[in-house]
Amino acid sequence: MTIVPPAPDEPRRPDGPRDPGDAWVVADDGTRYWGRFGAAGLLALDAQRGILLQHRVSWSHFGGTWGLPGGARHEGESAGAAALREAAEEAGVPADAVRPRLLSMLDLGIWSYGTVLADVVTPFEPVISDAESRELSWVPVADIDDYPLHPGLATAWPQLRTLLDVRPAIVVDAANVVGSVPNGWWRDRAGAGSRLLARVAAWARQGVDAGSIDLPAGQWFPEVSVVLEGAARSAGVAAGVHVVRAPASGDDAIVDEAARLVSLGRRVIVVTTDRALSRRAAEAGAAVRSAGWLLALLPEHA
């Protein structure tokens, strides 16, 4: 493997000098990969319009093909952060307009590429904001195969296509999880609920390994609902977590939330150790995991 900087006559972005990551990684067989520290791209899925594709300019690597907005990672930058940054630079994608659902990594040892599958939560129009795009277009999922795709995307697309409908969601029985640890939680139920919310939010933000929730390989970012009941209902909020404050029975609220998510096509896991509730959750179409399962995955502190 060798690292080769861009040739002096290769077009440069107009917004300043190249980053150290802007270099070619050349394999022993001569195959070139862009990005000294790897690369990443954003697969933005709009429920109405399809996938955002970039028609690459002729001078770019595999110019003339269609691919995902993306590019080289900066040194020390995560694949997820790089995908969002590059999509903003190349297509004007607002970071708050998409919600990451999956980070899928291709790791070749000498080079890696991260694909972030993200749902569009606020519709936006892409903008050609640098010299690397001829065109940006929302392409219906059913039409993707008709486009001359970048070889990397063409190889990955069949697997990525199967993941578009995989939408994990987790419903947490807060009372059961908090009550499973005898740490004095009963003296401040609202505070205990707030601490659990913070830990769950931190866990969800960093991504959940596929193996722990029985999903295809990758780092998943599930929708998370935490159901609070009784005195714990006055607990605070946590970014990225949907808080359900049960007006009466916590068990009823948990089953209702699980059924709602199942009706939306989510793959739901209810976290509880209560046997009767576990039975009701399964009848609603959810899988069940114990409080201990979740506690083993959560960070000790948020």
Tokens of 266: 């989510």
| 8 A C-beta contact, residue 222 and residue 169 | yes
SS3 21: coil
CATH topology classification for 168-297: Rossmann fold (3.40.50)
Helices marked H in 164-226: 174-179, 189-206
Give the whole-angstrom CA distance, residue 217 versus residue 113: 14
Per-residue pLDDT of the chain (302 residues; tens, 9 = 90+): 566 666 554 544 444 456 888 898 999 898 999 889 999 999 999 999 999 999 988 777 787 999 999 999 999 999 999 999 999 999 999 999 999 999 999 999 999 999 999 999 999 999 998 777 899 999 999 999 999 999 999 999 999 999 999 999 999 999 999 999 999 999 999 999 999 999 999 999 999 999 999 999 999 999 999 999 999 999 999 999 999 999 999 999 999 999 999 999 999 999 999 999 999 999 999 999 999 999 999 998 86
pTM score: 0.90
SS3 42: strand
Q: Write out the DSSP string of 226-238.
A: EEE-GGGGG----
What is the DSSP pairing of strand 66-67 with strand 2-4? unpaired
- Which residues have C-beta within 8 Å of that of residue 60, sequence separation ≥ 6? 132
> What number does CATH give the domain 2-163?
3.90.79.10
Show me where the domains of the chain are located. Answer: 2-163, 168-297
pLDDT digits (tens, 9 = 90+) for 101-115: 999 999 999 999 999
CA–CA distance from 185 to each of 48, 173, 238, 262, 283 (Å)?
Answer: 46, 15, 19, 31, 31
